[in-house]
Structure 1
Amino acid sequence: MMLDDLRQTLDEVGHCIWSLDLPTGQVTLSPTCGRLLGVPAERLATFAAFQALVHPDDRQARSDAIGRALGEGGGYEVEFRVVRPEGGIRWLRSRGQVRLGPDGRPARHSGVILGIDEQKKAEADLRAREAHMQSILDTVPEAMVVTDADGLIHSFSTAAERLFGYPAAEIAGCNVSVLMPEPMRGAHAGHIERYRRTGERRVIGTTRVVTGRRRDGSTFPVEITLGEMRSGEQVFVTGFINDLTQHQWTQARLRELQSELVHISRLSAMGEMASALAHELNQPLGAIANYTNGCRRLLADPDPEAIARTREGLDKTAEQALRAGQIIRRLREFVSRGETEKRIEPVTRLIEEASALALVGAGEQGITAHFALDPQVSAVLADRVQVQQVLVNLIRNAREAMLQSARRELTVETRTLGPGSVEIAVSDTGPGIAEEVADRLFQPFVTTKPGGMGVGLSICRSIVEAHGGRLTVERNRAGGATFRLTLPTAREGASLHAG
């Protein structure tokens, strides 16, 4: 009775039970067998009849599995498809057992068959998802490396193969430290042990810039982001890795090109100021010539009074020589390419030196310059030559803007903006900024000058922003323009650059 209940239960859950007495050829089948294969149970009385329902591509595998069991005894398990009479395909799993008789020959063959369509569909869906995920990992530009809690590599993406030079099949199972140079490689085991012991996530969830090591031993900078994933009791760490070699080269090249553009801009500015500078230099040089000629005449007939006047003339000659030398020194410093290096610079000196150069010849143009420098403004962290280039450019623009104005006043002011920054404002009494270009004034190739290239203010803003500051413009009360330049202040206690 219990056996009948068991058979009924198996039948209800869709398990086909069958038994074949080999000496007599008698077959016993449960009702489910016919339902699974879609034919009456009496059509399944022989191996050939059952085999005829099996998908042609699976017949040989089923036949081989059963043949081995019949020859040696024991069990087997095989999955196969059957073609139902209505044309449908169904997946089945067959588990069989062959018992041998006393003579060593097979005596009884029995087993169970169950439908596995849902399982096969789930497996197919899983394979499709895995294939989709793999296709994404194969095309994503970031290298992906998955390790277990011991640091052993479980997954190595196609991008990782290209980046490190290892085939995935070769590096699988290796410790991830092979991708690191010394001393990182030697220290990695300690990091893994601490992570396993304490569970402390020092680098999980962070992005760091470290050094990677290729298969050929060469090293290169990489950016790595680590994430943790748990599967049951297992812990896996996934690393997404970017090669920074090209990025760093590009950044270096951009800095180089910016430096070139800044240098060319300075040379262009000097070309425009050449005539004014020549006039400025001619004054001390002409004075030197006059003083020396006067001294020569006085010494032609020396007397105590002539010698005293000669001494006075020589002193004035020296003063004019120093004046000319200062002009040349400012010119040389401004045009010099130099290296970009931020130092502690006094704001007053930055303005004085830049304005001395930019205001050459301003008096002849009827321009009056005013300076309102707040004594509380001390020093900023800046590259002196670059910031002075900005100031020279702003002052020269203000001069040019006022050439057609009746009132020509240029003002340079400084003030403190809170504890962290200072402001330098350059104002003019010109016509102001036209509305059609006001919101685009700092974009490259936008200019209000008839012959201008429109790169000066764009370069100025780039320099200021590289210093952590801002450069803005607004219309002032006089109707002209006011450019406001902010820079971060130097830390207290830092020494000023004396150079």
Structure 2
Amino acid sequence: MPIDQLPANTKLDDTATLEQALLSSILSTIPDALIVIDARAHIVSFSAAAQRMFDYSEADVLGENIMMLMPSPDRERHDSYMTNYLQTGVRKIIGIGRLTTALRRDGSTFPIELQVGELHDGSDRFFTGFIRDLTERQQTERRLQDLQAELAHTARVTAMGTLASALAHELNQPLTAIANYMEAARDLLAEPEPDRALLAEALDESAAQALRAGDIIRSLREFIKRGDSHRQPEPLRAVLAEGTALAFIGVDSRGIDMDIATDAGVDMVLINRVQIQQVVINLVRNAVEAMAGKTVRLLRITAGLDATGRVEVSVSDSGTGLSPEVERQIFTPFHSTKPAGLGVGLSICQTIVEAHGGRIWATPSRWGGSNFHFTIDPAE
């Protein structure tokens, strides 16, 4: 019995009773949910935090299979995972932890951090799961990312103003020279007997100044191209999981069958974590919006090595898909298929991926929706 449910005159002078009461008190107040299951995956304990997190009372879930709290495809796979562990003893989650998604009573999913432990009570075996709802943390990270994006945008606007001023100053001289030489050529042509040598010189100088203007723009592009952001090795699975969790914040995720799968040969990638997560967020949100109103809502995020040894990430959905006309212009800035869209999300994705030395493209998915692919470098 939890300590807050004991009668007021109860004396906790028995050590076992005291320990049990203290444990009950701790479990009733810790913010992380605790769920205990037996070897058959049936729930035998469901803490107060778990009840608040999943919107089930303990009576609703005791004796039920833990898979009731999992979205597809984890729900269908869990029993086979349990059987495989009991037979082989090979740990894939126990003592390791993972980022995944859970299923509330109302059918909505939310990102969680799961830590699983194991205990033995004589011949009985139990598994403890500590679950942390990442929604608030992800929202905080999202707000920080938004703030960083706003600051970066302000810096870019300031830089663009400075750049525009410098560019106008640098280009003003060759453009003025071109105008002067062309006016002189016009005046020469107006004479009854134009001086062909002077005319040729004026045209040559105009061409030289035009090339100079081109060189100014070219050097500016090279300077910008060299201003790539810092990249470092990052675990791809975690990047995809966190990016997906961020994308799900504030959207209707009910009924979405979502899975993230990375090939065994794919682990660390050389990226700017925030930028690639922004790509994942845009692609996942687009997929969720494309599946609005669909009976079947499938979302698959996969990663594997392509024929060139680069890592290819794919985001596939069962949404409305893309027409050939839209597919040709999908990465064009300010081209959007959404009534209120600005048409810059995919253009930004393309800029980020290409800055990483990769490419991004779209194909039809096997469920009739869209499949967006992008490539990035594996970490050495």
User: Which bin holds the TM-score, normalised by the shorter protein?
Assistant: 0.5 to 0.7
In the TM superposition, residue 141 of structure 1 has moved relative to its aligned partner by 0.8
Query: CA distance change for structure 1 residues 323 and 285 in 2, over 3 Å: closer, same or farther?
Result: farther
Cross-structure match for 1:318: 210
Aligned counterparts of 1:492 and 1:171: Cα–Cα separation in 2: 45
Unaligned runs of 5+ in 2: 1-9, 233-269, 276-355, 357-375
In the TM superposition, residue 130 of structure 1 has moved relative to its aligned partner by 1.3
Contact 2:171–2:213 at 8 Å: present in 1 too?
no
TM-score using structure 2 length: 0.52
Q: CA RMSD in A?
A: 3.8
Cross-structure match for 1:297: 187
Larger C-alpha radius of gyration, 1 or 2? 1
Cross-structure match for 1:160: 50
Letter of the structure 1 residue corresponding to residue 106 of structure 2: D
Aligned counterparts of 1:275 and 1:288: Cα–Cα separation in 2: 20
Instruction: Kindly report which structure 2 residues correspond to 1:155-304, keeping only aligned pairs within 5 A, or say none.
Output: 155-271=45-161, 276-301=166-191, 302-304=194-196
Asked whether 1:309 is paired with 2:201, we answer yes
In the TM superposition, residue 326 of structure 1 has moved relative to its aligned partner by 4.5
Contact 2:175–2:209 at 8 Å: present in 1 too?
no
Letter of the structure 2 residue corresponding to residue 165 of structure 1: D
In the TM superposition, residue 172 of structure 1 has moved relative to its aligned partner by 0.8
In the TM superposition, residue 319 of structure 1 has moved relative to its aligned partner by 1.8
In the TM superposition, residue 175 of structure 1 has moved relative to its aligned partner by 0.9
Aligned counterparts of 1:195 and 1:333: Cα–Cα separation in 2: 50
Instruction: Kindly report which structure 2 residues correspond to 1:98-497, keeping only aligned pairs within 5 A, or say none.
Output: 124-271=14-161, 276-301=166-191, 302-323=194-215, 325-326=217-218
Query: CA distance change for structure 1 residues 330 and 295 in 2, over 3 Å: closer, same or farther?
Result: farther
Aligned counterparts of 1:200 and 1:254: Cα–Cα separation in 2: 39
Unaligned runs of 5+ in 1: 1-119, 344-380, 387-466, 468-490, 495-499
Query: CA distance change for structure 1 residues 199 and 123 in 2, over 3 Å: closer, same or farther?
Result: farther
SS in 1 for 2:102: strand
Query: CA distance change for structure 1 residues 319 and 255 in 2, over 3 Å: closer, same or farther?
Result: same
In the TM superposition, residue 127 of structure 1 has moved relative to its aligned partner by 2.3
SS in 1 for 2:129: strand
Q: Deviations over 1:232-255 (max 9, x none)?
A: 111110000011122222222222
Letter of the structure 1 residue corresponding to residue 125 of structure 2: V
Query: CA distance change for structure 1 residues 133 and 493 in 2, over 3 Å: closer, same or farther?
Result: closer
Query: CA distance change for structure 1 residues 294 and 307 in 2, over 3 Å: closer, same or farther?
Result: closer
Query: CA distance change for structure 1 residues 321 and 253 in 2, over 3 Å: closer, same or farther?
Result: same
Aligned counterparts of 1:132 and 1:211: Cα–Cα separation in 2: 31
Aligned counterparts of 1:220 and 1:493: Cα–Cα separation in 2: 29
Aligned counterparts of 1:200 and 1:276: Cα–Cα separation in 2: 63
In the TM superposition, residue 142 of structure 1 has moved relative to its aligned partner by 0.6
Total equivalences in the alignment: 230
Q: Which has the higher contact order (CA 8 A, sep 6+)?
A: 2
Letter of the structure 1 residue corresponding to residue 210 of structure 2: A
Contact 2:114–2:129 at 8 Å: present in 1 too?
yes
Query: CA distance change for structure 1 residues 122 and 201 in 2, over 3 Å: closer, same or farther?
Result: farther
- Percent identical among aligned pairs is 44
SS in 2 for 1:185: helix
TM-score using structure 1 length: 0.41
SS in 1 for 2:78: helix
